[in-house]
Amino acid sequence: MQSLAKRPPCSTAPARVGTACGRRVRASLVIRAQTASSNHVESISGVRQEVVEAIAQARHNCLTATNLPLPNRRQGKVRDTYDLGDRVVIVTTDRQSAFDRLLASVPFKGQVLNQTAAWWFQQTSHIVPNALLSLPDPNVALMKKCAVFPVEFVCRGFMTGSTDTSLWTHYKAGARSYCGNSFPDGMRKNDRLAANVITPTTKAEDHDVPISPREIVEQGLMTQQEWDTVSAAALRIFAFGQAEAAKRGLLLVDTKYEFGKDADGTIHIIDEVHTPDSSRYWLADTYSARHAAGLEPENIDKEFLRLWFRQRCDPYNDAVLPEAPAELVCELSKRYVYLYERITGRDFQVPDLATPINDRIVDNLRKAGLC
């Protein structure tokens, strides 16, 4: 796998707080409420000024769609996949998806997701094999082709969420059994669960549907042995991610995984692991006090953007959605970069803003002999 540029170990610069060096994270507030804006966006500190300026410059030069000289293109919610036979080229775009809709395009999002996932693939290879072969471009992953299980493995450690498939949405509506898991009465939003759980969903291009392990086996989506193997691996990866996040002063709240089998029948984790897009992160040092006071946890994820749309429209059913404000889009980009640097301990490398991303990708794929 192509290595990523590493920053010096245990650096003391502000943007390096909570790196993989394992040193104790100083309890400090990194998110400050910004009241000057009518959108009440929260502004995160700790992102280098040159990156903040680059985000503003790149807002109108995002990778929203790809058109590469490769065969068998398939467009997903965020990723475009090109099937090369025994391998697939996966391009992570800057599309911001939620409620089964495109909400916005976020500068550098695709690069952050691709490189964050690569880092986690390296860190979790002792738990389960992964399909990553190389990173020919900051936005591109070359993956071993696998037969994908049509199930998303959603792991949760807290009672939270705002989408139709979230645990809190169903619990608030009166459900006490969800996806084969039982929950007691009297829980509040954002409570920590007694134990981590998996709430699987069907894997669909339009709308994921919650499903129980029993239904997965009965419908032939997976065998019982496959479910047992993959669900156990998912919970181990999630627990590992929570432990690593805790070293960095973060709570890994929930996440989703996808798995598949290669030509030899070996199970691999694919797609992404613990990225800011697939996962919800909260600040650990203020969680308990804020939760006790009935306040939302300080988060470093895309939940604030989802809530903004929830408050202004019906994001599932309205034909036209309002345009996400520029400050929210830029703030989300900053959070993606912040999490990448805090988790991996590496500086985010701003790409050449003068070169269109599609052109850069094609050039790098040609250098790698892929087109």
CATH superfamily entry for domain 14-367: ATP-grasp fold, B domain (3.30.470.20)
Number of neighbouring beta carbons within 10 Å of residue 251: 20
Q: Provide the residue ranges of all domains of the chain, joining segments of one domain with +.
A: 14-367
Q: Which of 7, 1, 2, 3 is nearest to 343 (CA)?
A: 7
Q: Which of 268, 227, 280, 300 is nearest to 141 (CA)?
A: 268
List, for residues 221-236, the tens digit of each pLDDT value.
Answer: 999 999 999 999 999 9
Residue 303 φ then ψ, to 5°: -60, -35
Q: Report the distance separating Cα 279 and Cα 335, nearest Å.
A: 13
DSSP at 278: T
Structure tokens at 165: 């498939």
pLDDT band per the 50, 70, 90 thresholds, residue 15: very low
- pTM of the predicted structure, to 2 decimals: 0.85
> Is the per-residue pLDDT at 30 higher than 50?
no
Overall average pLDDT of the 113-137 stretch: 98
List, for residues 188-204, the tens digit of each pLDDT value.
Answer: 999 999 999 999 999 86
Q: In angstroms, how far is CA 347 from the centroid of its own chain?
A: 19
Q: Report the distance separating Cα 69 and Cα 90, nearest Å.
A: 13
Q: How far, CA to CA in Å, does 58 sit from each of 61, 62, 68, 294?
A: 5, 6, 21, 37
Strand partners, 97: 102
Sorted by sequence, the CB contacts under 8 Å of residue 129 that are 6+ apart come out as 266, 267, 268, 269
Structure tokens at 332: 């989300």
3-state secondary structure of 181: strand
DSSP at 214: H
Q: Report the distance separating Cα 271 and Cα 226, nearest Å.
A: 18
